[in-house]
Amino acid sequence: MGIALKSGKKKNKNYFDYSLLFIVIFLLCFGLVMLYSTSSYNAQIKTGSSFFYLIKQAKATFLGLVVMLVIARIDYHFWKRIAIPAYFISMLAILLVLTPLGIESNGARRWIGIAGQSIQPAEIAKLALILFFAYIISKNPGQIRKFSNLVKVLLLSVPVVALIAGVTSNLSSAIIILGIAIVMLFVASPKYSHFVAMGLAAFAGMGLFVLLESYRLDRIKVWLNPEKYSLEGGYQVLQGLYAIGSGGLFGKGLGQSLQKLGFVPEAQNDMIFTIICEELGLFGAVCVILMFLFMLWRFMIIANNAPDLFGSLLVVGIMAHISLQVILNIAVVTNSIPNTGITLPFISYGGTSILFLLGEMGLALSVSRSIQSE
């Protein structure tokens, strides 16, 4: 979809996607409202302040907005220089989880502590891989059309994926990172036969990985029959489904959820969509999905009009990240797939997540600024 031309004297000027900026700000504001509604009870019980999670998220959001605006003002070609170093830094950050810097929370060791702040290396890896693959593919786009070269480039994502899955036991982030790489390669070389073959190989590899990890099989059992395995993990799934079902068409009203009162564990994180469904109903859930669809449409507009392949692939990678994470989160909370523990972008609680998401939005806006309209 091109950019409309004004009649009369033509004058080139930089384009800026204010629609994308608007939807980002709207999602952030909506996310903060829903975060407070979802977390206030648990925050009061655990910390004595119902605003605990809201304040922490608001601080991270403010910092993220500053980062977004700064990155949006930087020519996106600058990031070519750090694409390769970022790739190796992301792997180093994952390995730091095994050092004394590693932080364990809720039985999972997925964070590192730096200067009093917890950072999730998986979020660094997602952005680093988008930069790295955009650089590698745009450097020799013609070579990617050969299947052997396509596989070689895809294999560059395997070390990051393996470290995320093995070191942090974060299978959902590993799937998202692999998915980002596949989508970016598909855009560069849309040959279905190549990707069907790689998809079958990836499916077989994932099956082997599940078989090697017994607790993965337990999650599949819980997914297939959450009522039977309520003590092994089905409880959260069932309570989330109760929240979704009790919301009806228009919900119980903002702040009126019952399931957030200790029934849905850590509702402000992965399960926040269930509380949205309970308080705002099916109507509210559909509106949230439509907001994300509108965001993806703006990414498509920017990617189609980007002045070069590097810029286009940057936006495609960001689009793949957001879409995969939204799909996985909603699929998990509706029990369409086994529980993998993935947050809802811009809405779930998580400082590192919101910071790097807004960094990605800054990259997309930077690419949009380079589009010349007349």
Confidence of residue 231 (pLDDT cuts 50, 70, 90): low
Looking at 185, 212, 239, the residue that finishes a domain is: 212
- Residue 18 in any domain: the answer is no
pLDDT of residue 148: 81
Backbone angles phi, psi at 6, to 5 degrees: -80, 145
Mean pLDDT in residue range 101-126: 83
Check whether residue 105 and residue 164 sit in a common domain: yes
Backbone angles phi, psi at 111, to 5 degrees: -125, 160
pLDDT in tens, 258-309: 888 888 887 898 899 999 999 999 999 999 999 999 999 999 999 999 999 9
Q: What is the DSSP string of 153-211?
A: HHHTTHHHHHHHHHHS--HHHHHHHHHHHHHHHHHHS--HHHHHHHHHHHHHHHHHHHH
Looking at 182, 212, 242, the residue that finishes a domain is: 212
Domain of 242 in residue numbering reads as 24-73+226-368
Check whether residue 235 and residue 362 sit in a common domain: yes
Three-state secondary structure call for residue 100? coil
pLDDT in tens, 29-39: 999 999 999 99
pLDDT in tens, 316-359: 999 999 999 999 999 999 988 887 778 999 999 988 899 999 99
- Residue 156 in any domain: the answer is yes
Backbone angles phi, psi at 350, to 5 degrees: 160, 110
pLDDT in tens, 143-181: 787 878 888 888 899 999 999 988 888 888 988 999 999
Q: Is the pLDDT at 113 greater than 60, yes or no? A: yes
- Residue 374 in any domain: the answer is no
Number of structural domains in the chain: 2
Q: What is the DSSP string of 109-121?
A: EEEEEETTEEE-H
- Residue 297 in any domain: the answer is yes
Check whether residue 191 and residue 253 sit in a common domain: no
Q: Parallel, antiparallel, or unpaired: how do β-strands 102-105 and 108-114 relate?
A: antiparallel
Mean pLDDT is lowest, of 60-74, 128-142, 227-241, 332-346, for: 227-241
- Residue 8 in any domain: the answer is no
